[in-house]
Amino acid sequence: MQLIQINETELTLSHQKLGTLKKAGLGLVGLGTLFLLLALTGLATNSPVLFIVLSLGLMTGGAFISFYAQRKEEPPGIKNNQIWQKSFTARGSAAWILGVAVTGFYIVLYWFPDLLEHWIRMVDPVAYVLYNGPADQWFLYGFFYTVAILIMGSRMILVKYRHSNYQKIRTASIMFFQTGFAFLIPFVLKALNQPDFYFTYFWPLKYDYLFPGTVDYLLSHPGGLGVFMVFWGAVMTFLATPVLTWFFGKRWYCSWVCGCGGLANTAGDPFRQLSDKSLTAWKTERRMIYSVLVFIIVTTALLWLNSIYSGSVLGSLSQGFKKTYGFAIGAMFSGVIGVGFYPIMGTRVWCRFGCPMAAYLGILQKFFSRFRITTNGGQCISCGNCSTYCEMGIDVRWYAQRGENIVRASCVGCGVCSAVCPRGVLNLENGPRENRFSILNAFYK
């Protein structure tokens, strides 16, 4: 008796077709990349729009073709197949090549932007549309960054996590804040002759927003907008951040709004499993991230003291702090290492080891928040998917297998531990703080 059967040859064939379609899509992405590299040589100078289409257009089109094929190929659900068997996602040679390339891009971007001249000119037409002026390296960077988040964010929504509304809505939020607040609005402000202000970045991540120099500049800017920006920045840092973190945990920022988290959770998603879960890494993390927080607080304080005393005492010292912070943390750490090392150290290197905003949010989350990841009774099978796919390197399983809730300063609430758990053991929850840490889930008695 064969109650249910499917024509096997047909199935195999359709699988092959889809395989071909996926490869074709990826082939177009490759072709687009090739055009992008060719543009660096100056080929695009006379026809920038054509080259944008040939490079980014082909990459986008190819990506969407492969998304379509993947959707058809597999029913929705967690499919981390072969991640630890592929060179690209398992620290193989392909990963190293990509890591070196991205690291190289950041070094060039920060210190040798002239080398990117042809790319910058290629995106001129986009810049003219937005603010009627020529592009510069930061426009190029913002443009690439946003495109990466949009394409790879679409992959999250359309393919990888299409069974999870939490992931879909969260990813849409990231894409929205990046496109609107970290790309369009700053450049539109520029077009309107206003200071180019990022409403989604606050001190201490955007450290100079509370530096006396920036504050003076904004306050002195004609029109009320500058004053509002100073007000906004201060309110977000000192009022909105603690309040929102109290209700939702640090995730409201780190995995719903922030562009650094946005890139990590979209373009970086194939590399999230590479974070180090060892106890040693956790110790290093705590030492480093709180040092950076102290560093930026001291720097900011010194600058204000210097400003109050008109530079008489601390002038060179505070400037030295500012320069060192800008170079070592602002450029080297958050950019070069933070993104360049994705394929080797995972996606949240900056967020985990360096970001002072994450440190601040983390303290709030640990001690002043209703957020926790609840462990569902005794259902953990210690398989390790949660720990493996935690981008922040939290050994989630350590808690889950003891039936203990997870309350960790570093947790960005991406929700992937809950998604990959094959037994439905983990859930992100905001709730009363009583028994928040408790063993065996006393949430409900």
Partner 1 sequence: MDHLVIIGNGISGVTAARTVRKTSKMKITIISGETDHFFSRTALMYIYMGHMKYEHTKPYEDWFWEKNGINLIKGWVEKIDTDNKYVEMKDGRIINWSKLLLATGSQPNKFGWPGQDLPGVQGFYSLQDLELMEQNTAGIDHAIIVGGGLIGIEVAEMLHSRNIPVTFLVRENNFWDIILPEEEAKMINREIVEHGIDLRLATELKEILPDKNGRVRAVVTDKDEEISCGFVALTVGVHPNISLVKNSKIETGRGVLVNDFLETSVPDVYAAGDCAEIIVPGEARNRIEQLWYTGRMQGESVGKTIAGKRTKYERGIWFNSAKFLDLEYQTYGFVSNIPLESENSFYWEHENGKHALRIVYKKENRAVTGINVFGIRMRHKVCENWIRERRPLEYVLTHLRDANFDPEFFKRHEQAVIDHYNKKNPQNKLQLRRRRLPAGLFSE
Residues in contact with partner 1 by CB under 8 A are 1-6, 8, 11-12, 15, 75-86, 163-166, 168-169, 278-279, 374, 376-379, 381-385, 387-388, 397-398, 401, 415, 418-420, 422-424, 427-428, 431-432, 434-435, 441-445
Phi-psi region of 358 (alpha: psi -120 to 50; beta: other; left: phi over 0): alpha
Q: Quick check: 118 and 108 in contact, CB under 8 A?
A: no
Name beta bridge partners: 404.
Answer: 439
Say how far apart CA 442 and CA 445 lie, in whole Å.
5
- Tell me how far, at minimum, the Cβ of 6 lies from partner 1, in Å: 6
313 or 381, CB closer to partner 1? Answer: 381
Say how far apart CA 174 and CA 165 lie, in whole Å.
14
- Tell me how far, at minimum, the Cβ of 431 lies from partner 1, in Å: 6
Say how far apart CA 428 and CA 420 lie, in whole Å.
13
- Tell me how far, at minimum, the Cβ of 409 lies from partner 1, in Å: 20
What Rg do the C-alpha atoms of the chain give, in angstroms? 23
- Tell me how far, at minimum, the Cβ of 388 lies from partner 1, in Å: 5
What is the identity of the amino acid at 429? Answer: E
50 or 383, CB closer to partner 1? Answer: 383
17 or 423, CB closer to partner 1? Answer: 423
**What is the distance between the terminal CA atoms of the chain, rounded to a whole angstrom?**
49
66 or 418, CB closer to partner 1? Answer: 418
64 or 398, CB closer to partner 1? Answer: 398
- Tell me how far, at minimum, the Cβ of 22 lies from partner 1, in Å: 12
Q: Please, is 153 exposed, middle or buried when counting C-beta atoms within 10 Å of its C-beta (0-12, 13-18, 19+)?
A: buried
Where b means 16+ CB within 10 Å and e means fewer, 359-385 reads: bbbbbbbbeebbbbbbbbeeebeebeb
- Tell me how far, at minimum, the Cβ of 263 lies from partner 1, in Å: 23
41 or 444, CB closer to partner 1? Answer: 444
- SS3 track for 132-163: CCCCCHHHHHHHHHHHHHHHHHHHHHHHHCCC
103 or 388, CB closer to partner 1? Answer: 388
- Tell me how far, at minimum, the Cβ of 279 lies from partner 1, in Å: 6
